[in-house]
Amino acid sequence: MLVAPGRSPVKKAGVKTPRGSLSSVAPVSSFAPAPTPPQGRVVLVRTLTAFLAAPPVLLAVWAGGAWFLLALAIIVGAALREFYGLARRTGAIVVAPVGFFLAGSLLLLSPGAELLLVSLGDIADAGAFRSSVIEILNSSAGKRELFLTLTVVAPLVALLFHREESRDRLTGWAVTVLGAWYVTWLLGRVGALRLLDAPSEAFAGGRGWVFLVLGATWACDTSAYFVGSRFGRTKLMPWISPGKTWEGATGGLLLTLAIVWLASVDLAEYVPGLTAIGWRPLPIPMIHVVPMAIGIAIAAVLGDLAQSMVKRDAGAKDASGFFPGHGGMFDRIDSVLFTAPFVYYYAGALLGTA
């Protein structure tokens, strides 16, 4: 049957196309999946990207203080920008400048002020300018109530000046506020872990706990990816992420268990080079190795799935293409956003500081 250009044979037959269906938006061919690159190439790109991106992060963790805060600020800014970009794809009116201001304020309150104080040193040895900065940072702890109030009021006031007719202001307000909290507060627990450092204990203090979070999370994600790709059969949550499988999650758990166990063992006795960098086993009793590993693995999977849910609602595969083979910054920290708080509160319970 000949059909004039631009006309649908379905409509000519008298059948109405449901509003909002794919056929009313774009031709079916435009939704055809892109060719999948070879598995070996994907692995190579992901590996090279990881080797280039990981060292700056690890150096910032080692340095601590203001340098670590700077790294957190860069990561938070990039991830929040991608989160707001995904939110806009759903039609939400995002007040991004207010959101970034809230995120910066929240990061400064916890744990930014404490990280800066570590770099500034003791007020008794500080000059006039440094002493005034230390006093301001010390007084910022009392501003949390004011900040919590601003997180509610500021985006609402900003949306009052949005003149375009829209019914998405309420969604935009919620996304602006919760996005700042989601990315900043959860990732800020990594900075709070870094503050558990002790002068005579390099890895047994803050460095060790942060390296455990990063190492265990990366190990869990990597093992889940490879095991799931090779042996995955049983879907975990296909309505959220069709690629996640129970087999992959099990593989991630096993490698996470190995990482947590290694962190609790005095490896310096077996690897002489570790003594030079101040390796100390983390104070994780053997009875806690398994539950901590299970908790980290579950948190990593849930964090990944939560971010997949956000991307699925936005109709996006990746938050951005900033990291070849990995997606965006938001894609890279999705699991850490959940594992960091878990380890922070678990470590606090072990150390008696929770």
- Domain hosting residue 60, numbered range: 40-195
Per mean pLDDT, which range of 153-162, 192-201, 320-329 is the poorest? 192-201
- Domain check: are 64 and 174 in the same one? yes
Per mean pLDDT, which range of 26-35, 174-183, 234-243 is the poorest? 26-35
- Domain check: are 281 and 163 in the same one? no
* Distance of alpha carbon 262 from the chain centroid: 24
Average pLDDT over all residues of the chain: 82
According to the model, what pLDDT value does residue 165 have?
A: 66
- Domain check: are 207 and 161 in the same one? no
CA distance 255 to 251: 7
- Whole-angstrom Cα Rg for the chain: 24
Nearest to 83 by CA among 340, 334, 345: 334
Q: How many CB atoms lie within 10 A of CB 58?
A: 15
Contact 351, 196 (CB under 8 A): yes
CA distance 316 to 273: 45
- Domain check: are 144 and 45 in the same one? yes
Contact 41, 324 (CB under 8 A): no
According to the model, what pLDDT value does residue 200 have?
A: 55
Per mean pLDDT, which range of 22-36, 197-211, 335-349 is the poorest? 22-36
Q: For 250-260, what is the mean pLDDT?
A: 96
Highest mean pLDDT among 150-154, 265-269, 320-324, 342-346: 342-346
Contact 68, 194 (CB under 8 A): yes
- Domain check: are 307 and 334 in the same one? yes
3-state secondary structure of 245: strand
> 3-state SS of 95-121?
CHHHHHHHHHHHHHHHHHHHHHHHHHC
Q: For 171-178, what is the mean pLDDT?
A: 90
CA distance 107 to 84: 18
Domain boundary among 173, 195, 217: 195
Q: For 56-73, what is the mean pLDDT?
A: 92
Alpha helix locations (H) across the chain?
Answer: 9-12, 39-63, 65-89, 96-107, 113-120, 128-139, 144-160, 169-180, 186-194, 206-231, 246-263, 273-276, 286-314, 329-333, 336-351
Domain boundary among 146, 172, 195: 195
Residues 6+ apart with CB under 8 A from 330: 78, 79, 82, 83, 86, 183, 307, 319, 320
According to the model, what pLDDT value does residue 130 have?
A: 65
Render pLDDT for 125-172 as a digit per residue (tens, 0 to 9).
666 666 776 676 666 656 667 777 887 888 888 888 877 766 678 888
Q: Give domain status of residue 55, yes or no.
A: yes
Q: ∠ CA(105), CA(333), CA(331), 5° rounding?
A: 115
CA distance 172 to 97: 13
Contact 168, 155 (CB under 8 A): no
- Domain check: are 63 and 212 in the same one? no
- Domain check: are 178 and 244 in the same one? no
pLDDT above 60 for 32: no
- Domain check: are 128 and 234 in the same one? no
Q: For 89-106, what is the mean pLDDT?
A: 90
3-state secondary structure of 7: coil
Q: For 21-32, what is the mean pLDDT?
A: 40
According to the model, what pLDDT value does residue 8 have?
A: 44
pLDDT above 60 for 241: yes
Q: For 110-131, what is the mean pLDDT?
A: 73
Q: Which two tokens stand for residue 91?
A: 């039609």
According to the model, what pLDDT value does residue 142 have?
A: 60
Q: Which of the four pLDDT bands, split at 50, 70 and 90, describes residue 342?
A: very high
CA distance 178 to 185: 10
Q: Give domain status of residue 45, yes or no.
A: yes
- Domain check: are 118 and 206 in the same one? no
Render pLDDT for 280-304 as a digit per residue (tens, 0 to 9).
889 899 999 999 999 999 999 999 9
Give percent of the chain with pLDDT exceeding 90. 45
Q: Give domain status of residue 27, yes or no.
A: no
Contact 95, 176 (CB under 8 A): yes
